[in-house]
Amino acid sequence: MKYLLLLIGLFFLTSCKDSPKPSLQAVEKTSGTELLVDQSHSGKVSIDTLEKYKKLGQKYAATTKGVLGKKLVQAITEKGPDGAVEFCNINALPLTDSISLAHGAKIRRVSDKPRNPLNKANEKELVFITDFKKMLASGKAVEPILDTTGGQIDFYYPIITNAMCLQCHGVPEEQIATSTLAILNKLYPKDMAQDYQVNEVRGIWAINFKENN
């Protein structure tokens, strides 16, 4: 049993190490903008299909952002930031999951500095987060990334902070009030999602489209 576990452990270690480090290429100019795909894009997926999923990804990300944002503002207005933290704690993931179900695509919000450990970005997503940080720093328009490795289509787009976010993701005791901080520490003892400023990459939308979707 011990050896079996060891073997499984080794398998995961090696599979992690061997997983490709995606890097980006712009495949085509579409309506004046670049379509960014992973470098291993083999051309098996047509540009039209990529364009279709880019639009669909943008739509789903915007819809989910709209729903979460509206409920968040409502919760802050009704209960203040402390109550809104509890609202996010209970509802953010179920809301995202229900929108996923409705659209038949897996929609996630992941981060390199997660508050909820369930929202931790994987190795590949971390690379894309770095790409988006560079895109944002360059001052150029931020474009979605499409990843076609593994026979599926994955869509990625950054989630950028604004002033409103800082009351829960800003500097503790400055933008995050002491009472809010206490609730955050209780609910998220391993919270990494603090100390942000405005216009930073807080995380990304990661939307997975299954084949034939």
Contacts with ligand HEC by CB under 6 A lie at: 72, 76, 81, 84-85, 88-89, 92-93, 109, 111, 114-116, 119, 159, 161-162, 164-165, 167-169, 193, 202-203
Q: Which is nearer to ligand HEC, 10 or 192 (CB)?
A: 192
Angstrom CA distances, 35 to 27, 30, 47, 61, 94, stand at 6, 7, 9, 17, 31
How many whole angstroms separate alpha carbon 202 and alpha carbon 15?
28
* Cα dihedral across residues 35, 26, 154, 114: positive or negative: negative
Closest CB 89 distance from ligand HEC, rounded Å? 5
CB 107 to ligand HEC: min, Å? 12
Measure the CA–CA gap between 99 and 119, rounded to whole angstroms: 16
Q: CB 113 → ligand HEC: shortest distance, Å?
A: 7
Which residue, 45 or 92, is less far from ligand HEC as judged by CB? 92
The residue (of 105 and 201) whose beta carbon lies closer to ligand HEC is 201
Of 41 and 124, CB closest to ligand HEC: 124
The least CB distance from residue 18 to ligand HEC, in Å, is 27
Find out whether 180 and 167 touch, Cβ atoms under 8 Å. yes
Question: For residue 14, which amino acid is it?
Answer: T
Angle at alpha carbon of residue 172, lines to 166 and 176, rounded to 5°: 45
- Residue from 147, 154, 158 nearest 37 by CA: 147
Q: Please answer whether residues 150 and 158 qualify as being in contact, where contact means their C-beta atoms are separated by less than 8 angstroms.
A: no
Residues 35 and 54: their CA atoms lie apart, in Å, by 8
Q: Which is closer to ligand HEC, CB of 49 or CB of 98?
A: 98
Distance in Å, CB of 81 to ligand HEC, minimum? 5
Q: Using the minimum distance from each CB to ligand HEC, give the nearer residue, 63 or 161.
A: 161
Cβ 205 to ligand HEC shortest distance, Å: 8
